[in-house]
Structure 1
Amino acid sequence: MSAHPAPRRRVTLLDLAEKKRAGEPLVMVTAYDHPSARIVEDAGVDLVLVGDSAAMTVLGYDSTVPVTIDEMLMLTKAVRRGLSAPLLVGDLPFGSYEASDELALATAQRFVKEAGVDLVKIERGGTTVDRARALVAAGMPVVGHVGLTPQSAAALGGYRAQGRSAEAALAVIDDALALERAGCSLLVVEAVPSEVTAALMQQMRIPVIGIGAGADADGQVLVFHDLLGVHDGPTARFVKRYADVRAVAVDGVSAYAKEVRARAYPGPEHGYRMPGGEPARLAALLAARHTGS
């Protein structure tokens, strides 16, 4: 069993900028509840994202689109209670910021006030650049997201790599630069060819976190449940499994079920006993009640 790590000081945006200048890779991972937050805290990551991928990963939806603000806030508050050092990023769900600057600001304020996030994340370029600019003007650190943006996956032709042609790659780069100019503190680039990321990194001044975007980004992010193998079935090309937690969990629950059915659990060591002569007194009380009836 790993020793409990010593407490770390809180990561700041200045720390991320310094790591970028020093060429020290940034580590981001998703988390969706208090136990996973405690695990990634102890693992020493730099940033934790409560992504709207929770819609599919822990809430059972078919896409990220249905998840609500209240659902995301519930998950984000649970993660906040489990973190002390990493920066916490809250994903603004689909439909909660696109329509206007006012809507974006109202949603982002809830994530800051109710869930204690350090940054909010929004997807795409286009009008999202305006939303980012408005949030930054209101004093909120913002994370942009370009490339494959799951909230608009249907419009992008499904969950597939973006920027595969030169023209499409240029559009990804332009979106990224526009988000940087709008004042974003950080950028996530998802599912683009490594050549696109390499070209983008020549121009970006803010830290860039990749997911399925090659090794040239300033850091990487993976979904907690993907990297630990919590789910079965296929995963994206860019996912690497570092553990097989699902297999261990299934084995554990199966062993428990087997012992219950064999009456091997619980054993005497798992129960409680009445002290001294209390069992005899209880028997006498029950006998007296029976006689009295």
Structure 2
Amino acid sequence: MGYLTTDKKKITAKTFIKMKQEGEKIAMLTSYDFTTAGIVDAAGIDGILIGDSASNVMLGNSTTLPITIDDMIVFARAVARACHHCCVVCDMPFGSYQTSREDGIRNAVKIMKATGVDAVKMEGGVEIADTVKGIVNAGIPVMGHLGLTPQSIHQFGGYGLRAKEEAEAEKLLSDAKALEAAGVFGITLEKVPAALAKKVTESVHVPTIGIGAGNGCDGQILVYADALGMTNGFKPKFLRHFADMNSCMTKGVEEYVKCVKDCSFPSETESY
């Protein structure tokens, strides 16, 4: 049946690779706090990413660039405390590994020691392969991230589809192979053509996790607030709402306000 139903042991980086080998799709979501992560983990998710998207979702920034490693540690520590089954992965934020190999290793160790997560995730290909190898050699599992890499958004000039042209598609494929050689246990593919994502998936032995990359990947990831319908006005082509939490929460808050205003809350039975 698969890991969600027959194996209640902790999911690890090695589990992800075995799931690819056995043809079982990998389901991932982001989370940034203890309460949400506990619900997501208990619902049977395979992996939770503490994404640097916390910069947008939790801190209200327009990009992922402002979030710091200390910010990420606060979110990651809370998530790790809540999770007992899934594999917990923490993004390394912008500036924490691009400056040097030594900085990357030092900051990856800092995240692991301070949070209790299972792995880190990094954006980039051949340019960061040596840093990835150093972190893996330090005993830390690493997930790669190719395609639309939000930490490079100013270089790209927007959030459009990546690797549409042949040259960039060829580089993405070579980057995936370089990351595999460096020792990653998985690669996120964001906003790339589905045919290219499928080709990459078939070309590497580690699992690919898609977001806006079609159904040919070994798994999928979404930001939980988007997937559960909490955000307004954000509906890219790749996003499906699996719940309508915005409406549900709005109605709940409106009902709470009403009951406070008309003195029906708290009732006698709700009072000491």
Which TM class, normalised by the smaller chain length? Answer: over 0.9
The answer to whether structure 1 residue 247 and structure 2 residue 241 are counterparts is no
Give the corresponding residue for 1:165.
Answer: 165
Identify the residue that residue 30 of structure 2 maps to in structure 1.
Answer: 30
Shift, 1:195, TM fit: 0.9
SS of aligned partner of 1:221: strand
User: What CA deviation, in whole Å up to 9, does each residue of 1:34-85 have, x standing for no partner?
Assistant: 1111111111111110000010011111110000111110000000110011
Q: Secondary structure at the match of 1:146?
A: strand
- Equivalent-residue separation in structure 2 for 1:35 and 1:49 (angstroms): 15
**Residues 217 and 58 of structure 1: CA distance in aligned 2, closer, same or farther (over 3 Å):** same
**What is the CA–CA distance in structure 2 between the aligned matches of 1:170 and 1:64, rounded to whole Å?**
27
Alpha-carbon distance in structure 1 between the residues aligned to 2:206 and 2:163: 20
Distance 2:175 2:6 in 1: 40
Residues 141, 7 of structure 1: alpha-carbon distance in 2 compared, 3 angstrom cutoff: closer
Map of 1:175 onto structure 2 = 175
| Secondary structure at the counterpart of residue 8 of structure 1 | coil
Q: CA, structure 1 residues 7+209, in 2 after alignment: closer, same or farther (shift >3 Å)?
A: closer
Q: Higher mean Cα deviation, 255-264 or 203-212? A: 255-264
After superposition, the Cα gap between the structure-2 partners of 1:105 and 1:198, relative to the gap in structure 1 and judged at 3 Å, is same
Matched, 1:256 2:256: yes
- Cα RMSD, aligned residues only: 1.5
Give the structure 1 partner of residue 68 of structure 2. Answer: 68
User: For residues 222 and 216 of structure 1, what CA distance do their matches in structure 2 show?
Assistant: 16
Tell me the amino acid that sits aligned with residue 88 of structure 1: V
Please say if residues 98 and 127 of structure 1, whose CA atoms lie closer than 8 Å, have aligned partners that are also in contact: no
Q: Which residue of 2 aligns with 1:137?
A: 137
Q: Which position in structure 2 is the counterpart of 1:202?
A: 202
In the superposition, the TM-score normalised over structure 2's length comes to 0.95
Question: What is the Cα deviation at residue 198 of structure 1?
Answer: 1.6
Report the AA paired with residue 221 of structure 1.
I
* Separation (CA, whole Å) in 1 of partners of 2:63 and 2:270: 43
Task: Decide whether aligned partners of structure 1 residues 200 and 160 sit closer, same or farther in structure 2, where only a CA change above 3 A counts.
Answer: same
CA distance in 1, matches of 2:6, 2:207: 27
Counterpart CA distance in 2 for 1:245 and 1:103 is: 40
Is 1:8 aligned to residue 8 of structure 2? yes
Separation (CA, whole Å) in 1 of partners of 2:202 and 2:6: 37
One-letter code of the match for 2:93? P
Contact residue 26 and residue 220 of structure 1 kept, 8 A: yes
Taking structure 1 as the reference length, what is the TM-score of the superposition?
A: 0.88
CA drift at 1:6:
11
Q: Which residue of 2 aligns with 1:268?
A: 268
Deviation (angstroms), 1:126: 3.8
**Residues 126 and 179, structure 2, Cα contact 8 Å, conserved in 1:** no
Alignment of 1:107-122 (within 5 A): 107-122=107-122
5+ unaligned residues in a row in structure 1: which ranges? 273-293
Unaligned stretches of 5+ residues in structure 2: none
Structure 1 counterpart of 2:190, one-letter code = E
| Counterpart code for 1:231 | T
CA deviation profile, 1:254-280 (whole Å, cap 9, x unmatched): 1111121122222111111xxxxxxxx
Quick check: 1:176–1:187 contact (8 Å CA) kept in 2?
A: yes
Q: Corresponding residue for 2:146?
A: 146
CA distance in 2, matches of 1:150, 1:68: 15
Q: Could you say which residue in structure 1 is the equivalent of 2:193? A: 193
Counterpart code for 2:256:
Y
Q: Aligned residue for 1:284?
A: none
Larger Rg: 1
SS in 1 for 2:154: coil
Q: Secondary structure at the match of 1:38?
A: helix
1:226 maps to which residue? 226
Aligned partners of 2:16 and 2:186 also within 8 Å:
no
Which shifted more, 53-62 or 11-20? 11-20
- Cα deviation for residue 7 of structure 1 reads 9.6
Aligned to 2:43: 43
User: Secondary structure in 1 aligned to 2:233?
Assistant: coil
What displacement does 1:240 show? Answer: 0.6
